[in-house]
């Protein structure tokens, strides 16, 4: 792991592990369960671009993200790739 706490470029296994930890420890139980379940079952399927998208998803505000993942929030203002990722998270 580099000085900035990020995985070295190209170390996808370490990056996936870090993202899974972040997904499972959001501080909001419902998000921990929703995102943690998605991370456990799907992160190994994501390439670097997919991991970038998931990282951007994790950077969203917790309350907005929770509302979006349970189908009560608006997906307006998100890029099409993040809308697709939110829908994928909701379907798992």
Domain boundaries defined on the chain:
12-91
Per-residue pLDDT at 3 exceeds 70: no
12-91 classified as CATH 1.10.150.250 = yes
Read off the pLDDT of residues 25-46 as tens digits, 9 standing for 90 and up: 999 999 999 999 999 999 999 9
Mean pLDDT of 44-72: 93
Closest CA to 62 of 23, 17, 5: 23
Distance CA 31, CA 73 (A): 14
- 8 Å CB contact between 86 and 78: yes
Residue 45 phi/psi, 5-degree rounding, is -90, -10
| pLDDT class of 92 with cuts at 50, 70, 90 | confident
Alpha helices in 4-91 (DSSP H): 12-24, 29-42, 48-58, 62-69, 80-91
């Amino acid at each position: 792991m580099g000085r900035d706490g990020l995985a070295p470029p190209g170390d996808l296994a370490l990056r996936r592990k870090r993202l899974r930890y972040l997904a499972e420890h959001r501080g909001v139980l419902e998000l921990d369960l929703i995102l943690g379940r998605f991370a456990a079952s799907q992160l190994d399927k994501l390439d670097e671009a997919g991991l970038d998208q998931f990282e951007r998803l994790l950077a969203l505000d917790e309350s907005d993200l929770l509302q979006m993942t349970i189908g009560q929030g608006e997906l307006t203002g998100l890029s099409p790739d993040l809308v697709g990722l939110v829908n994928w998270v909701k379907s798992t």
